[in-house]
Structure 1
Amino acid sequence: MASSYPPAQFAPPSSAAVLDEARQEGFELPAHASSVARARARLRAHLHHWGLPEDLGHTAQLVISEFVTNAVLHTDTTRIGCWIHLDSTRLRIEVTDEGTQSCAPQPRSATADEVNGRGLQLVGALAERWGVSARGARCGRVVWAELGTA
């Protein structure tokens, strides 16, 4: 069932890979720490409904957790948009923010003693591709990852 998401401010970039007959869903959450778990649950429900394997679901949940956490912690956004696309070969996960910072998230090397700082490295290891796109004239960015479905 098609969603009415995304509202105009969270529309996926025109360069997003949305293929014919792709399944897609989106939702918007407040930029609060509690939204990380809500994003995972919403994603898990959609993937279960679409009949995807549980291991792909676990990987996708890790990715969306990292992206939503980063938006909450490292931007000044008040709303976070989540958008998922599924075609026959890949699952694409996008998280948008409306923050005003101009810097894009970057993987960093965490020391052995640090608790945080490895999330984007993990995304890079699990995803076929991932990246960051500016949202054009508006503030904010789209962070995306593509996972293989085969």
Structure 2
Amino acid sequence: MASSYPLTQLPLPAPSAAPAEDARQEGFELPAHTSSVARARARLRGKLQHWGFPEELAHTAQLVISEFVTNAVLHTDTVRIACRIHLDAERLRIEVTDEGTQSCAPQPRSAAPEEVNGRGLQLVGALAQRWGVSAHGGRCGRVVWAELGTADGAL
């Protein structure tokens, strides 16, 4: 697959709003391999622990990033995945950017009771305050994002 930009230079998406003084953010890239799902989860978990994020909410955040990275690996033709987390007093925003060439956006689907897969985006929709998909700044790919509220709004 040909990429429109170097693999080591996959641009990280800009946060959705200007960061507040107490906002914290982290960005990292991973290859589009199934092993990157666990790596993204571990990186997120470590950063949230460092920031003092509540453990229960961190588990939810790990589920969200797992779903987004898994979908990028399995359902796009991307070679690299960029992840960004942004935490302020009101919410944690998780963004996963792929460089895939498909024009379709991920859609929740109805899985049959016997199916093992197919419920991830439904879970994200149930757990997140908001989630969505954005174009990747005129380039190939997309940004899939979710926002989780902080427990007490006082992080």
Inter-partner Cα distance in structure 2 for 1:84 and 1:28? 12
| Alignment-derived partner of residue 28 in structure 1 | 29
Deviations 1:6-43 (A, max 9, x none): x86323147x1343121000100000000000000000
CA contact (8 A) 1:131 1:145 kept: yes
Q: How does 1:78-97 map to 2 (within 5 A)?
A: 78-97=79-98
Residue 19 of structure 1 is matched in structure 2 by 19
Q: Quote the RMSD (CA, aligned, Å).
A: 1.3
Name the SS for the 1:48 alignment partner: helix
- Please name the residue that 2:3 is paired with: none
The SS at the match of 1:67 is helix
- Superposed, 1:24-103 pairs within 5 Å as 24-103=25-104
**Residue number in structure 1 paired with 2:143:** 142
Consecutive aligned runs of 4 or more in structure 1 exceeding 4 Å deviation: none
CA displacement at 1:48 relative to structure 2: 0.1
Q: Who is 1:109 aligned against?
A: 110
Q: Aligned in 2, Cα 1:18/1:42: closer, same or farther, shift over 3 Å?
A: farther
- Aligned-pair identity in percent equals 80
Q: Does the CA-based 8 Å contact 1:64-1:93 persist in structure 2?
A: yes
The residue that corresponds to 1:4 in the other structure is none
Distance in 2 (CA, whole Å) between partners of 1:84 and 1:13 is 11
Is contact 1:13–1:135 with CA below 8 Å preserved after alignment?
no
- Give the Cα separation in 1 of the matches to 2:122 and 2:26: 26
SS in 2 for 1:10: coil
Displacement, 1:87? 0.3
2:29 alignment partner AA: E
Contact map agreement 2:97 2:143 (CA 8 A) in 1: yes
What's the secondary structure of 1:139's corresponding residue? strand
1:124-143 to structure 2, matched below 5 A, reads 124-143=125-144
Q: Does the C-alpha gap of structure 1 residues 69 and 138 become closer, same or farther in structure 2, counting only changes over 3 Å?
A: same
Give how far 1:136 is off: 2.6
TM-score by length of 1: 0.91
SS of aligned partner of 1:77: coil
Q: TM-score under structure 2 normalisation?
A: 0.89
